[in-house]
Amino acid sequence: MPKHRNNYEGAAKATVDLVDHPQTPNEIGDAVLESLIVMAAESQINIWHKATGLSVESLEALYRLYQSGAGYRRARLYAEYEVGVKERRGENNSDS
């Protein structure tokens, strides 16, 4: 019998284990939590459970969303870059 139902559940449990492990250096735990907070804010998924801290089920959903949305994130990144380039060109043209 497999240890986890799927790769997302395994990744979520591994993340919680890493963050909660007493031997994990604070700097590593903080870096992981910072990334999770940013991802959760973008997706509007609540990754916190009042009684247990990080929610495995919510992290699993977050990871699934980010995996399926990888193309969307990449497109958004390129779009932000292009918008920035056009804005800079517009600023340069208005100074002439």
The answer as to whether 2 is a domain residue is no
What residue numbers bound the domain in which 18 lies?
7-69
CA distance 83 to 61: 30
Q: Could you tell me the pLDDT band of residue 44, with boundaries at 50, 70 and 90?
A: confident
Tokens read off for 8 = 């997302």
| Count of structural domains within the chain | 1
Packing angle between helix 56-68 and helix 70-95, nearest 10 degrees? 60
The answer as to whether 37 is a domain residue is yes
The answer as to whether 96 is a domain residue is no
The answer as to whether 22 is a domain residue is yes
The answer as to whether 36 is a domain residue is yes
The answer as to whether 1 is a domain residue is no
The answer as to whether 51 is a domain residue is yes
Lowest-confidence region among 32-41, 60-69, 74-83: 74-83
**Are residues 54 and 15 in contact, defined by beta-carbon separation less than 8 angstroms?**
yes
Tokens read off for 10 = 């395994």
Q: Could you tell me the pLDDT band of residue 1, with boundaries at 50, 70 and 90?
A: very low
Is this prediction's pTM over 0.85? Answer: no
The answer as to whether 54 is a domain residue is yes
Alpha-carbon distance values, 61 to 26, 35, 79, 81 (Å): 25, 15, 26, 28
